[in-house]
Homo-oligomer: A and B are copies of this chain.
């Protein structure tokens, strides 16, 4: 089976891990949730494992969904750790000073930001980290975000994607507005810069009017790496056109292969080779020397999810429907009400329940660990087998690791799984190149405005 195809591995850094029982784990350190040294400890462990990048999934609200829902679920929410308590640009810039190689990726929404601001933050982070920045481009469909930015309703789907399309174009132009060699800094000749290499972009579109140039020189990577996670039709199109890394939640090898070939199949019409985009399904890993021990780790953290929060969270994933009307130890009813949120996210959860015949209680315990992503437990060899088969069979170019509880799950992964992958020659033993782009095997982008005056 082995083709020795190298895989890429990032990890999602949520404070005490992605599992909703994570912060209560005996080894978890939730009291350090605003201590920069805690974040430094975890990310340095990942760098010891030669991981490609650390990913901070961001949101610009404390909660998700409507204000009503926030009020209704207030008690449930108080038993969960927030997904984030620091702002990602400041956090990643700080982490860049205590690491040397690992990539630094965060979300920034195109719905409630301005392209000049976002272009500048990522360009600066890329300089400060010597070429390690990545941008997870999202649109905001979260009512709580709308309510923090002057809107009563969130922006409609088509409008959001139209704005996102234009937003990305403006950011690209701004990153390219000062050419790589514009600053000559000739002291004797009293010439700091060459005016022909600094460009007004004069962008005028449906959503934005931006003159430029950016006040940060072109990033060391040309463009920070573009990451996306949309699985709707316009989301996949945007990814096929602009993304270099795609995050996705896929529960089965068959689904993974279908998604992989769907997205890669859309790239040709944009003139892009398929290897210029890496598809990384998310996976929650519990690893130990024996399968029994690994399963025990899963069971231990699952038992730590408070039932009220588990039910709230499952309701949220299914599209804000009321689950208290159903028997927790019975199956998910066939005729669920219409979802308020993402249909595709709901489908993944419903499919999982049907496939494994889970009760509502079993389902929220399963989902509590993974936010709709796949969970795996086993020995290092079993985990590596799974990784290897997905990569060799065309379902993944690597994985986005979702540590269930931190810092321990990251240490387990680095100490047990990484050596097994290295032994099989499926993962690097030393960082190659100097940028995140180099590690992902992505080309340095051409300057799109260099010939425009």
Task: Contact check, A94 vs B93: say whether CB atoms are below 8 A apart.
Answer: yes
A61 at the A/B interface (Cβ < 8 Å)? yes
Q: How distant is A272 from chain B, measured CB to nearest CB, in Å?
A: 30
Minimum C-beta distance from A114 to chain B (A)? 6
Q: How far is the CA of A70 from the CA of B85 in the complex (A)?
A: 41
| Interchain CA distance A77-B150 in the complex, whole Å | 39
Taking the complex as formed, is A59 at the interface, i.e. its CB lies under 8 A from any CB of chain B?
yes
Q: Which of B87, B178, B194, B200 contacts A120 (CB 8 A)?
A: B87
The listed residue (B28, B31, B187, B210) touching A148 by CB distance below 8 A is B210
A20 to chain B, nearest CB (A): 10
A208 interface hit (Cβ, 8 Å): yes
B90 and A215 form a contact (CB under 8 A) = no
* Assembly CA distance A87 to B33 (angstroms): 25
Contacts of A191 in B (CB 8 A): 78-79
CB neighbors of B among A112-167 (8 A): 112-114, 116-117, 120-121, 123-125, 127-128, 144, 147-151
Query: In the assembly, what is the distance between CA of A30 and CA of B91, in Å?
Result: 27
Contact partner of A80 among B148, B192, B304, CB < 8 A? B192
- Are B148 and A90 in contact, CB atoms less than 8 angstroms apart? no
Protomer copies: 2
Shortest A153–chain B CB gap in Å is 12
Chain B neighbourhood of A354, CB < 8 A: none
A60, B117: Cβ atoms closer than 8 Å: yes
* Contact of A34 with B by CB under 8 A: yes
- A442–chain B nearest beta-carbon distance, Å: 22
In the complex, residue of chain B having the shortest beta-carbon distance to the beta carbon of A309: B190
Whether A1 sits at the interface, judged by CB under 8 Å, is no
B interface footprint on A285-318 (CB within 8 Å = 1, 0 otherwise): 0000000000000000000101000000000000
Q: Which of B26, B87, B112, B217 contacts A85 (CB 8 A)?
A: B217
Q: Answer yes or no: A258 CB below 8 A from chain B CBs.
A: no
Q: Which residues of B contact A149 (CB under 8 A)?
A: 114, 116, 210
Question: Of B24, B59, B62, B98, which one neighbours A212 at CB under 8 angstroms?
Answer: B62
User: Is there an interface contact between B216 and A78, defined as CB atoms closer than 8 Å?
Assistant: no
Which residues on the B side are within 8 Å of A33 (C-beta)? 183, 185
Provide a sorted-by-A list of 16 A–B residue pairs whose CB atoms are within 8 angstroms. Answer: A28-B187, A30-B192, A36-B97, A60-B117, A78-B192, A79-B191, A86-B124, A86-B216, A87-B125, A87-B216, A89-B89, A90-B124, A91-B124, A93-B93, A114-B149, A150-B210
User: Which positions in A face B, CB cutoff 8 Å?
Assistant: 23-24, 26, 28, 30-31, 33-34, 36, 59-62, 67, 70, 74-75, 77-82, 84-87, 89-94, 96-98, 112-114, 116-117, 120-121, 123-125, 127-128, 144, 147-151, 178, 183, 185, 187, 190-195, 198, 200, 208-217, 304, 306
Of all A-B residue pairs in the complex, the 3 with the closest CB atoms, nearest first, are: A87-B124, A147-B211, A97-B97
